[in-house]
Amino acid sequence: MTFPVLSVIVFTPLVAALIILMIPAQRKTEVRGVALAAATFALLLSLWVYIQYLTQHLTGYQFVEKYDWLPMLGISLHFGVDGISAPLVLLTGVVMFTGVLISWGDNNPHVMAGIQDRPREFFAFLFILASGVFGVFASLDLFMLFFFYEIAVFPMYLLIVIWGWIQTREYAAMKLTLYLFIGSVVALVGALAMYWVAGQNTGIYTFDMLQLEKAGFSASFQNLWFLPVFFGFAVLGGIWPFHNWSPDGHVAAPTAVSMFHAGVLMKLGAFAALRVGIMLLPEGAKHWSWVIMLCAGVAVVYGAFIAFVQTDLKYMIGFSSVSHMGLVMLGLSTLDKNGLTGAGVQMFSHGVMTALFFAVTGMIYDRSHTRQIPELGGMNKVMPFAAIGFIIGGLVSMGMPGFSGFIAEFPIFLGVWQSQWLVAVIASISIIITAAYIMMNIRKVFFGKMPEKLEGHMTDVTVLDKVAITTLCVLMIGIGIFPSVMVPMVQTGVQHILTLLGGA
Amino acid sequence: MFTSTAFLSILPETLILILGVILLVVEPFWKVKDPASGGDEQRRNAGWLTAGGLLAVLVVSILVGRPGDPTSTFGGSIRFDWLGFFFKMLFVFGAGITALLLMDHEKVGRRGEAYVLLLASTIGMCLMASAADLVMLYLAIETTSIPLYVLAGFMLTDERSTEAGFKYLLFGAMVSAIMLYGFSLLYGFTGTTNLYALADAFKAGQLAAPVLFGLIILVVVGLGFKVSVVPFHFWAPDVYEGAPTPISGFLSTASKAAGFAVIARLFLVVFHGVTVDWATVFAILSAVTMTVGNLLALPQKNLKRMLAYSSIAHAGYAMIGIVAVSKLGIASVVFYLLAYIVTNLAAFGIVMTVGRVTGSDEYDAYRGLSRRSPWLALVMLAAFLSLAGMPPFGGFIAKVLVFAAGIQANYIWLVIIGILNSIVGLYYYLNVLKYVYLFRMEKEDEEAHPIAVTRPYVIALVVLVLGIILLGTVFAPWFGFSNAAAMNLF
């Protein structure tokens, strides 16, 4: 029997969370140590899976494990990754690792950095969330996908409401949780309908997505259920007009949770929308692709414009996430090779980039106690390392060649151009706006003169912060310079989707 | 006629009766003459005996009392099958946990009578689950209810408790008279009281639809009261709030499940295939119950009242499975009740534990609980998220199963109402958790006020939380049992 690497990845954070809860509350250093060890372990395993998939030129679902869970209803614990989910598993590992590093905190309660209040509960909830995220990316069973999806959603409430920004946390946490819960249960109804109809069609009642792909749903069924299922999940992907929870949630969340939220959770929505919506209901996807393209197109441009006028650094990043996730959705809506590949890479690229943005913002906020852009300035003098990280993230965000953003966005626009050139033209406005607000804010925050009241209060970032920034930057530049480490792999996953969509 | 099968068919009831008699005999010897000098341990003995005895009943019944093929015993008044057996084990479990929770309730738990009444009520519930005859059924329902009237009003010096007991008695007596009227009409039209003979009679010749409809409504009133569906729910919030907390827990779980056991047997055996579309009646009841229960739970500021309204809403969710009239439907109801009993007992267990120390059930008493007692807060988190239907807890699987059954039976509108309601539910459950995790006590000195959790509560809460998590993760065996129970009705 081979090593069940995916279940180990999925359950490592969960086990770590239980171990962390067993540690007495006042032993904060031990709590952080266990958290870091578990995160490193999960990162190494997900990296190993990624490298195996890449170097052995694998295609289709790999590292498959299947255990019957409730055979009577056809539920099984079925894990496996393909060219699209393997990068996302790696992304989760990276964000988890860096998230622990920047939440490290200090035993001196007067130092404002990382998580000081109840770190035991913080890491336990964060890791339960991480388990859910890994589970969704690795699940090949529809029931288990929902199971892990919900596990990934509810700790957000606690993480935001307990450790979040005091002014908006109650409102934002409740709004976020209700939005996501509504979305997921709507999608759940669609999934249950699929289960029964597939059972009637084939005689096999199963939640196994590989079986459901072949269930042969009628066109009218697919047209009926595609929108509820797709949008149910896409709410978490921040699709317009259901994006409203997202910037509020980003702003209210503590740094590591913002990283998880924008970096990974939003990908969870897009990924589940792809896997359950487009892959299981391909005819419905073709029928309704114009709706997705419309909503995504609006999200891309509208998100960029709103980000442009923000004065709060986190709101700026939050709306830029809406805009960038709009690009992912735009790629999905093309239903062709270029668009889907771009969407796959963009999920990874944006995840790393936005995690970096939030990490640096958190570092600035911990020291200056403000995120208002006009109240900041000259940060590169005290924290040059963070400034460099933020600039690299900005370049990725703008889609500069040589960085991962370009590798992702170029094929998306290529795909959109082929299907609707007008949408591509309009969406490309966002690139200009993005470049404008990113450069403007980099200038205001990191250069120029430091406001007097911050003078002397600012200190450089810690070594752990630097490790986190470096990890994220290396990934973005690496993919930008060597696209072959990711693009062909995503293409193998896309190939399978194209087969499901028929032809091409 | 007294065969070994007949004996086995009432084994749990017999054992509980023996336990009750033992309790009555030995309890006077444990009475402490001077309460001022008496040690706690001594006075808890009755509680330990009840809880331990019920555990023994559970183990012995599972080891030797399992049913085979469904058989009728005692002249057809008892049905010995998995449906009845499964529910009996649930009631015994619920009563055992309730005994543990009662133990440190100073006004109730230190008196042996409370435990004897609890056991008597449990016997009634067990008979409700297996009764196959209208007379037996009625007797069982009364055996269940009368001790509960007394228990609800057990704190004689407490106005609200007396009010609760009296209110429960008045409502209960009224609806039981209505139900009895329905039963007598059933007998009058068919000439038999046996449920299975009734089913045959209905198959042979249909009654006129209006008559049948009237009959069904009369029966639904009585059973609707037991499971507290809207519009027969008025008693629940007041009674739950006034009654001793562990008794409220027992009322909202075991008593409700017993009502569902009767509904399942009565409607799927007797009224299965009659011309009157009773499933639609239940569908409407279910929709109204969920909505009213959840909406009224929203503005509550008292945790016991909130749980009362939420337990009304949960009756509505569970009813979706009855509406489906399918094997999966009944299996999902059984699973739902299992998950709900474990979860809601945990919720009431926390109310009891915290209420003992703070002397209040208002939300404000829960401020800073996660700092005062992190483990208790985690238990509360698990219980409330399970009530809200979040994985990896039992409530999630239960909800998905009833929704799946509803969709299979093409009641999509009902499932959508259920889903909207579960969102409302999530809101008010999270709202309580906000008090626990976010809000602080007035002087922010929570660490100085830890909440002491005594041993019976530790045992009860640990068992319940493990149950919640097991039901939500390793759900295959539990669903297997639920399914076996459901099979007996088809």
A243-267 pLDDT, tens digit per residue, is 888 888 888 888 888 888 888 888 9
Evaluate whether B143 touches B123 at the Cβ level (below 8 Å): yes
Choose the closest CB to B434 out of A21, A71, A170.
A170
Q: What is the pLDDT of residue B29?
A: 80
What residue in B sits closest to A157 (Cα-Cα)?
B430
Choose the closest CB to B408 out of A120, A188, A196.
A196
CB contact under 8 A, B427 and A195: no
Rounded to a whole number of angstroms, the distance from the CA of B390 to the nearest CA of chain A is 6
Q: Which two tokens stand for residue B127?
A: 């008979």
CB contact under 8 A, A186 and B419: yes
Rounded to a whole number of angstroms, the distance from the CA of A499 to the nearest CA of chain B is 30
Evaluate whether B350 touches B381 at the Cβ level (below 8 Å): no
Q: What is the pLDDT of residue A504?
A: 45
A504 or B173: whose pLDDT is higher? B173
User: Please, what's the largest Cα pairwise distance for chain B?
Assistant: 73
Q: Which two tokens stand for residue A5?
A: 């690497």
Q: Which residue has the tokens 């067990």?
A: B126
Spatial distance between the Cα atoms of A218 and A255, rounded to a whole number of angstroms: 46
Evaluate whether A419 touches A334 at the Cβ level (below 8 Å): yes
Q: Is the pLDDT of residue B128 over 90?
A: yes
Helix (H) or strand (E) holding A75: strand A75-81
Q: Is residue B185 part of a domain?
A: no
Q: Is the pLDDT of residue B35 over 60?
A: no
Q: Is residue B223 part of a domain?
A: no
Average pLDDT over residues B61-65: 89
Evaluate whether B149 touches B170 at the Cβ level (below 8 Å): no
Domain count, chain B: 1
One-letter amino acid of B86: F
CB contact under 8 A, A192 and B404: yes
φ and ψ at A355, to 5 degrees? -60, -40
Q: Is residue B378 part of a domain?
A: yes
Q: Which residue has the tokens 């509360």?
A: B380
Alpha-helix runs per DSSP H in A26-168: 28-55, 85-102, 119-138, 142-163
Evaluate whether A206 touches A74 at the Cβ level (below 8 Å): yes
Q: Which residue has the tokens 């059984």?
A: B334
Q: Is the pLDDT of residue B350 over 90?
A: yes
Whether the predicted model's global pTM rises above the 0.80 cut:
yes
The angle, 0 to 180 degrees and rounded to 10, between the axes of the packed helices A337-368 and A404-419 is 140
Rounded to a whole number of angstroms, the distance from the CA of B296 to the nearest CA of chain A is 19
Beta bridge pairs of residue A139: A79
CB contact under 8 A, A73 and B480: no
Using a CB-CB cut-off of 8 Å, the residues of chain B touching A177 are 426, 430
Q: What is the pLDDT of residue B201?
A: 85
Q: What is the pLDDT of residue A112?
A: 58
SS3 A444: helix
Q: Which is nearest to B434 in space by CA: B383, B374, B386, B366?
A: B366
Q: What is the domain range of residue B317?
A: 280-490
Average pLDDT over residues A334-353: 90
A283 falls in which pLDDT band (50, 70, 90)?
A: confident
A363 falls in which pLDDT band (50, 70, 90)?
A: confident
Q: Is residue B42 part of a domain?
A: no
Evaluate whether B253 touches B341 at the Cβ level (below 8 Å): yes
Using a CB-CB cut-off of 8 Å, the residues of chain B touching A150 are 390-391, 396
Q: Is the pLDDT of residue B250 over 90?
A: yes
Using a CB-CB cut-off of 8 Å, the residues of chain A touching B408 are 196
Q: Which residues are CB-neighbours of B410 under 8 A, at least 6 positions away?
A: none
Rounded to a whole number of angstroms, the distance from the CA of A241 to the nearest CA of chain B is 20
CB contact under 8 A, B407 and A73: no
Q: Is the pLDDT of residue B307 over 90?
A: yes
Q: Which residue has the tokens 């299907």?
A: A419
Q: Is residue B26 part of a domain?
A: no
Evaluate whether A365 touches A307 at the Cβ level (below 8 Å): no
Q: Is the pLDDT of residue B33 over 80?
A: no
Q: Which residues are CB-neighbours of B209 under 8 A, at least 6 positions away?
A: B275, B276
Taking CA A200 as the corner, what is the angle to CA A197 and CA A201, rounded to the nearest 5 degrees? 85
One DSSP character per residue, A327-355 reads HHHHHHHH-SHHHHHHHHHHHHHHHHHHH
Q: What is the mean pLDDT of chain B?
A: 89
Four-residue CA torsion sign, A123, A128, A132, A138: positive
By DSSP bridging, strand B71-73 and strand B78-80 are antiparallel
Mark out chain B residues that contact chain A at CB-CB < 8 A. 370-371, 374, 378, 381, 385, 390-392, 396, 400, 403-404, 407-408, 412, 415-416, 419, 422-423, 426-427, 430, 433-434, 437-438, 475-476, 479-480, 483
Q: Which is nearest to A172 in space by CA: A161, A185, A158, A183?
A: A161
Spatial distance between the Cα atoms of A264 and B381, rounded to a whole number of angstroms: 24
Spatial distance between the Cα atoms of A238 and A322, rounded to a whole number of angstroms: 6
Q: How far from B164 is each of A487, B161, B239, B242, B252, CA to CA, in Å?
A: 69, 5, 4, 5, 14
The answer, yes or no, to whether ipTM is higher than 0.90 is: no
Q: Is residue B467 part of a domain?
A: yes
pLDDT in tens, B463-481: 999 999 999 888 888 998 8
Q: Is residue B295 part of a domain?
A: yes
Spatial distance between the Cα atoms of B78 and B87, rounded to a whole number of angstroms: 14
Q: Does A435 touch chain B (CB under 8 A)?
A: no
Q: Does A117 touch chain B (CB under 8 A)?
A: no
Report the percent of chain B where pLDDT is more than 90.
53
Using a CB-CB cut-off of 8 Å, the residues of chain A touching B403 are 188-189, 192
Q: Does A111 touch chain B (CB under 8 A)?
A: no
Q: What is the pLDDT of residue A420?
A: 84
One-letter amino acid of A45: L
Q: What is the pLDDT of residue B34?
A: 54
Q: Which two tokens stand for residue A475?
A: 């990934």
Four-residue CA torsion sign, A346, A349, A353, A354: positive
Q: What is the mean pLDDT of chain A?
A: 86
Q: Is the pLDDT of residue A438 over 50?
A: yes
pLDDT in tens, B428-459: 998 899 899 888 888 777 778 888 888 899 99
Q: Is residue B393 part of a domain?
A: yes
Mutate one of A20, A162, A192, A235 to test the B interface: name it (highest B CB count within 10 A): A192
